[in-house]
Structure 1
Amino acid sequence: MINVLVDAERGELALIDWERWGQLPIGFDLALLMRGLPGEVAEPLAGGGRAQRLGVAGFTYLFQRLDRPGLVQTEEGRALRRRCRELAGHR
């Protein structure tokens, strides 16, 4: 069973899965839902603000590394790392 908490003042939602509860970073759930999609596809689907896109891009990279150990040396891996740095404000 999943419950939804709504903070109307801040406009934030939180999902609680009582079987595996915890507070996860922004973007984790969306990235998990879109696991397997390339970063350039997943990030635009995430929408939201920069923090949301950074979370999705970062977790997409981490999930892809788990699924594809050789990702680090690929152009796709380098592009995801560059995008994470851009979204974090580091050039």
Structure 2
Amino acid sequence: MAIQCQKIQFIKDDGNWHIVIKNLDEKSISEINSRVDIAHHGRGQVVDNGEFKSKEILIQGLDEELAKQFSLEIIKGRYPIGEN
């Protein structure tokens, strides 16, 4: 109950929040996905660094769930339907 109260107060004071966890194995990902106190989750991957119009860019890949959380949408094409 104390953790829940702290979380509610934190969100009221500072807004909602996100975390990034790197190098997780499938078991840990499954455990996170099954938690009832995590409203949204998704996977992302940094693909490469690059340059566009003389500006440095970071090229990333996101799954559909994570893209929705960042209000990103596909304009052309579709999300992958299989691992390959």
Point out the structure with max Rg over C-alpha: 2
More relative contact order, 1 or 2 (CA 8 Å, 6+ apart) = 1
Could you say whether these structures have the same fold, taking a TM-score greater than 0.5 normalized by the shorter chain as the test? no
For normalisation by structure 1, the TM-score amounts to 0.30
More strand, by proportion? 2
For normalisation by structure 2, the TM-score amounts to 0.32
More helix, by proportion? 1
